[in-house]
Structure 1
Amino acid sequence: MITRRYFGGLAAAGVGAAAFGLSQPGRAQERRGGKIHLRCAIAPLRPTPAITVKEFEPVFAHVANEIGATYSLVSPESWAAISVAMSNGHIDLGWLGPWGYVLAHHRSGVEVVATAKYRGKPIYHAIVEGRPGLPIKRFPQDAKGLKLSLSDQGNTSGWLIPYAHLLKEGVDPRSFFQLREGATFGNNVMMIQQGLVDLGSNMDRGRYGMIEAGEMDPNKVQVYWTSDPLPNDAICVPKGFDPALKTRIRDIMVGLSEDKAQSLMGSGYNGFVAATHADYKIIEDAGQITGKLKV
């Protein structure tokens, strides 16, 4: 199993193609049966990799079909792991979290071509949820000493953004809270509902999805903090990827109507907009605040 640890730790540990079931990268675009083969990967948007692949594979299949390519698709259990794999050249087309994209961009020049839309918008919010009835009017000031669960350090809304917010508020998360790290959003919600933790990180689109899927009782999980708007997940290609193919992929994805896109993706996701690195500046800033990114 791919462990949930910080991007740099994963890289040092040698996370590579074997962890994803992928072949080693080559200089030229891989071909199978005379066709271009796209090695695709998607961040863990749903509670399990299997659910993620099931819900989002149609959009990757659509792109491959439009360019006359074959494809393979995997989803890791860690947001950090997919960033490392993208940086190491084991993925041709990746759906990365914003923080994972920024890390991969600085590590190896990974390029963003599009941003995913959720409910018609290319933005979302990080949130901190918790048991209803907690005496919190201001977060984090009123939450001292509570049990807080954050996600792995490769996760944008689950770790980076709330951690940066705490630091900006003058709070040392490790001494201010009973802090634990590494949980998935699904695990955070489960622990809140079972009373194992007081607070847990999530993202608003994840919350909506869990409620719609019956995986969360909104009466048992209350939102106590919401971030500023964040750019949605990044659709990326590695540095040096064929420019014409990159443009073609971007145009196919951006050209999807919202209805068509919704039919190809998990609930709530309904398209893409063209993107550049500048769209992810707020993520870079948070990376610098936490000390995880040196620019």
Structure 2
Amino acid sequence: MKRSKVTLAMLALVAPLALAACGGEAQAESATCPNGKIQFGIEPYEDPAKLEPAYQVLGQALEKKLDCPVEVTVLEDYSAEVLAMQNGKLDLGQFGPLGYVFASERAGAEPLVSFGLADGELSSYTGGIWVAKDSSIDSIEDLKGKDLALGSIGSTSGDVLPRYALAEAGLQENELNINYSGGHPEALLALKNGTVDAAQINSQSLGTAQSEGTFNPEDFKQIWKSEPIPNDPITVRGDAPEEFKTAVKEALLSLDTEDVEKIGAFLDVTPPGPLVEVTKETYQPLFDLAQTMKLSEKDV
């Protein structure tokens, strides 16, 4: 997915910012509301001020389906979200594909659904590296000695896949200047402002910037593009009651397109459709990538 780093107090792990209306007192515990409310964590892949309204729509729709208050929190970063789920502070969490790998291993996160297209197929996105249109850089190999802006550490398309592309091209990371800008929008801005020679820009950030009129692809060129990446999974805590897991999955799959399309607009989901079921096997290529790159949870 940012996937950009957002500066929020770690207090959010203890007292999450409520984005969905909770309807007064917490509900009595039930199969669909085992703790009196549902804590739903979101990875910080975009400016929270943009994410919050979209996830409020999803949270309110899920709340109605399950008859249980839903609190949605944009966490500080990937590791904070994994830690929150590991410590039982989150019942549900949306992770980037690679973030899910470590959430699965460390917090037992189980994927339920992801964002579907209008034809019912799972949506995907691509990572990319872009340069100015008049740049002499035409390939990954040409990045030697140049400045490359990446997003944030641990991001699938904003960190690991571009570094994998460098390795595949035979470039050592110390043969160029890698700068972590703090997120996808920040990397794009660095290239646009001419402060770096190249920047990672995934298809999600590209679509958002184009729709906002803040980036014209005709002024730039793409020198590398990744294979399609399955979109972010919404996961459930592994030690949650089985009845709850089933109820949440059925509720998410029954949401209308309009309940999730605002989120899909950030995730390169065009044309948008309802959520679709995913499993751990859906993300096996990301487990393989983590093994190939010898990544551990400290890299996220």
The residue that corresponds to 2:61 in the other structure is 62
Contact 1:151 1:159 in 2 (8 A): yes
Q: Take 2:93 and 2:117, find their aligned partners in 1: how far apart are those partners?
A: 17
- Pick one of 15, 22, 29 that aligns with 2:15: 22
Contact 1:56 1:265 in 2 (8 A): no
SS at 2:59's partner residue? helix
The residue that corresponds to 1:214 in the other structure is 213
Tell me by how many angstroms 1:258 deviates. Answer: 3.8
Q: Take 2:179 and 2:221, find their aligned partners in 1: how far apart are those partners?
A: 19
The residue that corresponds to 1:75 in the other structure is 74
- What is the CA deviation profile of residues 138-159 of structure 1, one whole-angstrom value per residue up to 9, with x for unaligned ones? 3x11221111011222211101
Contact 2:54 2:260 in 1 (8 A): no
SS at 1:219's partner residue? helix
Tell me by how many angstroms 1:83 deviates. Answer: 2.9
Q: Take 2:125 and 2:279, find their aligned partners in 1: how far apart are those partners?
A: 17
Distance 1:287 1:182, change over 3 A: farther
The residue that corresponds to 1:12 in the other structure is none
Contact 1:80 1:153 in 2 (8 A): no
Contact 2:115 2:231 in 1 (8 A): yes
One-letter identity of the residue aligned with 1:132: K
Is residue 168 of structure 2 the alignment partner of residue 165 of structure 1? no
Unpaired stretches in structure 1, ≥5 consecutive residues: 6-14, 24-30
One-letter identity of the residue aligned with 2:75: P
The residue that corresponds to 1:101 in the other structure is 100
Residue correspondence of structure 1 range 87-166 to structure 2 within 5 A = 87-117=86-116, 121-138=122-139, 140-166=140-166
Contact 2:45 2:183 in 1 (8 A): no
Tell me by how many angstroms 1:238 deviates. Answer: 0.9
Matched residues, number: 273
SS at 1:179's partner residue? strand
- Pick one of 28, 32, 35 that aligns with 2:26: 32
Of all paired residues, the percent bearing the same amino acid is 21
Q: Take 1:56 and 1:145, find their aligned partners in 2: how far apart are those partners?
A: 41
Distance 1:33 1:244, change over 3 A: closer
SS at 2:171's partner residue? coil
Contact 2:5 2:44 in 1 (8 A): no
The residue that corresponds to 1:11 in the other structure is none
Tell me by how many angstroms 1:79 deviates. Answer: 3.5
Tell me by how many angstroms 1:287 deviates. Answer: 1.1
TM-score by length of 2: 0.81
Q: Take 1:185 and 1:210, find their aligned partners in 2: how far apart are those partners?
A: 10
Tell me by how many angstroms 1:260 deviates. Answer: 5.2
Unpaired stretches in structure 2, ≥5 consecutive residues: 17-24
One-letter identity of the residue aligned with 2:51: T
With 255-264 and 201-210 compared, the bigger mean Cα shift is at 255-264
Distance 1:254 1:283, change over 3 A: same
One-letter identity of the residue aligned with 1:151: G
Tell me by how many angstroms 1:87 deviates. Answer: 2.9
Q: Take 1:258 and 1:58, find their aligned partners in 2: how far apart are those partners?
A: 11
SS at 1:222's partner residue? strand
Is residue 288 of structure 2 the alignment partner of residue 285 of structure 1? yes
- What is the CA deviation profile of residues 198-246 of structure 1, one whole-angstrom value per residue up to 9, with x for unaligned ones? 1112321221112102232333443221101111101011111121221
Tell me by how many angstroms 1:76 deviates. Answer: 2.7
Contact 2:58 2:259 in 1 (8 A): no
Distance 1:160 1:88, change over 3 A: farther
Contact 1:55 1:265 in 2 (8 A): no
TM-score by length of 1: 0.82
The residue that corresponds to 2:252 in the other structure is 253
